[in-house]
Amino acid sequence: MSASTSTAPRIEFNPLTSAIRALAMDAVQKANSGHPGMPMGMAEIAEVLWRRYLKHNPINPQWADRDRFVLSNGHGSMLLYALLHLTGYDLTIDDLKSFRQFGSRTAGHPEVGHTAGVETTTGPLGQGITNAVGMAIAEKVLAAEFNRPGHAIVDHHTYAFLGDGCLMEGISHEACSLAGTLGLGKLIAFYDDNGISIDGDVEGWFTDDTPKRFEAYGWQVIPDVDGHQAEAIEQALLAARAEAGKPTLICCKTRIGMGSPNKADSHDVHGAPLGEAEIAATRPHINWHHAPFEIPADVYAAWDAKAKGAAAEAEWNRRFAAYAAAFPELAAEFTRRMASELPADWAGASAAAIAGIAAKAENIATRKASQNAIGAFAPLLPELIGGSADLAASNLTLWKGSKGVSKSEGGNYLYYGVREFGMTAIANGLALHGGLIPYTATFLVFSDYARNAIRMAALMKQRQIMVYTHDSIGLGEDGPTHQPVEHVASLRLIPNLDVWRTADATETAVAWAAAIERQNGPSVLALSRQNLPTVTAGVAAETIRRGGYVLSDCAGEAQVVLIATGSEVKLALDAQAALKMDGIAARVVSMPCADVFDRQDADYRASVLGKCQKRIAIEAGHPDLWRKYVGLKGAVIGIDRFGESAPAPKLFEFFGFTVANVVATVKGIL
């Protein structure tokens, strides 16, 4: 829906908003790259929120009860960088001058952990608002758990800016629908309705009635707000903050590139510098008579939020001290969790839980083993919050202590519905907020729906545990639409993502513990539908933690090394026995997580793979990853085509996952 410009009252440019516009256009011009239009168009909205209502402390960007701010339309990153700089964060004018340059703190799109004050990495449209939904859920869940009458220690808003692109992306439908269902009253989104995207006027391809859409989701919608009139913006924001039972969408009519006399309202200002001539014309038009990157002292003083932020945090600290006096155990637990620390007894308790699982030696599917691990670990970790994309009964993600989050209550389990992409990005928001460790679940084949959010979890180094069941042709009759022949291999391509494909209950429990303990990235657990026997009897958990290990060795020097994962580990052991009958000595290596194995030192990796250059990898999935381990003298038994609809045993036989084929392949390379 295009923004109307003909009837809009003339804006009186003031130095506070002109500073944003000038910094945005100057930085983009200096970089000869970037998006000046959105920062210039949202300057008034940003001024009202950031100067008057946002609860934050530039001196301590990680203050637990700060408001969270998400720039979902992250291409307009210079808006956020200008705000961070002006309000007093550790982001200098030289950083702004280095916008989009190698090694700078002002990357092309905002990156969490890279720039102080940035709450999440945005740029892939729609994921920022979805992260914001996760942050708002986290606030709701933690408030329900920790707040007590007269002691509201978790009490903050989540604000998001978003544009037409975010609303066109399907993920926004998934996330905003769930946000309405859960009644996230502390989630407030500002829609930058400027009617322009990269290709031009959006009326040619985006004519949704956005207010009605969000009303249908169960949001409070405040339509037709003049995004350049501070009083109108403030009144809308006050109405949003007064609504406790619904999230709010404030629809702001804006002009992209506002202040540019010749390029405003045009896609020309969306993703390209204004140009020296237009910048020269814009400066007097916005009453800005300063050199590039020059900000007067009085403007800095008016924007500076350090004293106000420090006072707000000090007041919260006083309230938290009173809370700690009244509820010392809750206060200690809250402090631990917001510091991302595991319980003091975690190491011993988790080791005991793994030992108990190993002692049972159950012949079960690894998805069931995963449920058992959740049941063992969740009582030790109140911060664990799970969920599944409408497949809890198949993914086995519920445990006896699961309590669903609802509109009226907190809990530790989210029924996401069929929203794989939304689920994964919401869980990223849960992790980014702090105080929670999220796990999500679906069938492995549907990880494709979530892939960019998986990638973002890895890029942002967020701890999310992704339970993906039905991991191979072993799911059988559902056929090739549901058989994930390429998915494990493709997930292993994502940097900083640990992909575990486990062979039995013990490996699964160890993978769960490793994923919980990993604080610098997400983990995938690819789990079987079919029952698998115990193969790790006598193997220490610390050995499994190394990602790859010698499961069964031979007497003397091995003539061949069999490397396997998941359900194929038992096949490798059976083939080892058959080869021994033929006088061929084989070593069996279980490699539940190649990513972890590759991080081990060279000596350890060499000790596992051995000196033998004749190696065969066995996995019911795409074979390409394994070629780096088997080399030119080895072979891979895998699947490089789509599956078939048939019972699992027939499929394993058809695709060559038999002892006879492994033995024949070994003899073929010897």
Cite the active site residues: 420
228 is in an annotated binding site: no
CA distance 614 to 619: 17
Q: Is 194 labelled as part of a ligand binding site? A: yes
Q: Does 114 belong to an annotated binding site?
A: no
The response to whether 285 counts as a known ligand-binding position is: no
56 annotated as belonging to a binding site for a ligand: no
Q: Are 273 and 29 in contact (CB under 8 A)?
A: yes
Was 446 annotated as part of a binding site? yes
Residues ≥6 apart with Cβ < 8 Å to 74 = 80, 109, 110, 121, 122, 123, 125, 128
Q: Is 470 annotated as a binding residue?
A: yes
Q: Rounded CA gap, 533 and 569, in Å?
A: 10
Task: Confirm or deny that 173 is annotated as ligand binding.
Answer: no
Please give the Cα distance from 226 to 553 (Å, whole number): 73
Q: Are 402 and 374 in contact (CB under 8 A)?
A: no
Confirm or deny that 529 is annotated as ligand binding. Answer: yes
Query: According to the annotation, is 75 in a ligand binding site?
Result: yes
478 assigned ligand-binding residue: yes
| Residue 164 known to bind ligand | yes
Structure tokens at 334: 């809250």
Between CA 555 and CA 536 the distance in angstroms is 19
d(CA 177, CA 175): 5
Residue 9 assigned as binding residue: no
In Å, how far are 235, 373, 430 from 48, measured between CA atoms? 10, 48, 27
Kindly tell me the sign of the dihedral angle through the C-alpha atoms of 144, 53, 22, 104.
negative
d(CA 344, CA 327): 19
Query: Nearest Cα to 551, choosing from 574, 529, 528?
Result: 574
Where b means 16+ CB within 10 Å and e means fewer, 531-562 reads ebbbbbeebebebbbbbbbbbbebeeebbbbb
Residue 328 marked in a binding site = no
Binding residues for thiamine diphosphate: 75, 123-125, 165, 194, 270, 446
Q: Which residues are annotated as a binding site for substrate?
A: 35, 270, 367, 394, 470, 478, 482, 529
Annotated binding site: 35, 75, 123-125, 164-165, 194, 196, 270, 367, 394, 446, 470, 478, 482, 529
Binding residues for Mg(2+): 164, 194, 196
